[in-house]
Structure 1
């Protein structure tokens, strides 16, 4: 588990293609690796990766074909910057929200505008996960815990303060940039709980039986 509070920016040092999947070497920059062990998890642009080798300056992780297919890691090149966060410890402050590092889908930056000293980014989410994104709810974008300001159909916007923009890879985003999205954990489990064991979930199943009326009848509203 993670919090979505980025601890450092890293950089892709090496990509080894191995029978359809990848082995990544990531330079960790200022990330403290003194308490990392083999098998520990490090969120890389919001994707939970397992360290199979590491040193004070870098770590190595295998990336499956499935992960390359459903996240933006497959677009990474040597030199690409990534957001890094080590796994949450139970005694840590939960400054963001609970994040699993299991990406739900890939979104796209639709527009960027400055708002006083902050920046507004409108993001388009895939239709099958947009229903989980709520006004003033939490969303994880490239590993960053952010608050949703507005929602219009499949698009939503987030406000980025100067500190977050400076300490993460957000400053590199442009209109059209693809980003990893992870929705709030509770929303996914609530839908599954209310839908019952007969419900079928697959990438092509973009409809939901959960409505506002259904939630009200079930005592959630």
Structure 2
């Protein structure tokens, strides 16, 4: 489990392509290294990955074909930076919202609006995820726990404070970029349950008539 409170960014320092598999290596910030072992979970742009090797501050991870297809990690190049968060431990503060590290798809950045102490970023949603996104709901954007500011048709926005811009890679996002999306699990469960109950009632009513 993750909290959506990004602990820093890590530079991609190596990429090795294999059949249906990619291994990438990042240089982790020193604060994230203590106690890290192979098999540990670290979120990259919100996607849960497993440590496969550690060489000083260079830490490697394997990415399966499905991960490369569903997330923006497949488009990374050496020199790019990813948001990183180590898995939460029991007793840790949940400063954002509970996140699984399972990315449901990507969204395209459509607008970036600047003001003195705030930045508003707009995204275009895939049709399959629109029903889960509503104003003031939670969402994971490249692993960042954020509150949805507004929803207009197939687009939504988030508002970013200077601390978020300084701590994460979202400050570099521009129109056309794709970001990883994780829908709040509780929201997903509620929407799916209501849909199922309403569908069952409709079938029962049709059978009774």
TM over 0.5: yes
Partners of 2:109 and 2:175 within 8 A in 1: yes
Structure 1 residue 153: deviation in Å? 1.5
The residue that corresponds to 1:21 in the other structure is: 21
Give CA-to-partner distance per residue, 1:119-173, whole Å, 9 cap, x none. 0001111010121011101100011111101011121110000111011101111
Tell me the distance in 2 between the aligned counterparts of 1:72 and 1:125.
15
Partners of 1:141 and 1:181 within 8 A in 2: yes
| TM-score between the two structures when normalised by the length of structure 1 | 0.86
Structure 1 residue 109: deviation in Å? 0.7
- RMSD across aligned C-alpha pairs, in angstroms? 2.1
The residue that corresponds to 1:129 in the other structure is: 129
Partners of 1:135 and 1:148 within 8 A in 2: yes
| TM-score between the two structures when normalised by the length of structure 2 | 0.90
Give CA-to-partner distance per residue, 1:68-111, whole Å, 9 cap, x none. 00100010001111000000111110000011111011101110
Structure 1 gaps of 5+ residues are 198-207, 215-221
Tell me the distance in 2 between the aligned counterparts of 1:171 and 1:189.
31
The residue that corresponds to 2:206 in the other structure is: none
Tell me the distance in 2 between the aligned counterparts of 1:75 and 1:11.
14
The residue that corresponds to 2:116 in the other structure is: 116
Partners of 1:106 and 1:180 within 8 A in 2: yes
Tell me the distance in 1 between the aligned counterparts of 2:112 and 2:51.
34
Give CA-to-partner distance per residue, 1:8-47, whole Å, 9 cap, x none. 1101111111112101111113442112222110000111
Partners of 2:32 and 2:86 within 8 A in 1: no
Tell me the distance in 2 between the aligned counterparts of 1:109 and 1:13.
26
Tell me the distance in 2 between the aligned counterparts of 1:111 and 1:105.
19
Partners of 1:9 and 1:168 within 8 A in 2: yes
Tell me the distance in 2 between the aligned counterparts of 1:82 and 1:187.
26
- Structure with more of its chain in helix, by fraction: 2
Structure 2 gaps of 5+ residues are 203-209
Tell me the distance in 2 between the aligned counterparts of 1:39 and 1:189.
29
The residue that corresponds to 1:86 in the other structure is: 86
- Equivalent pairs counted in the alignment come to 202
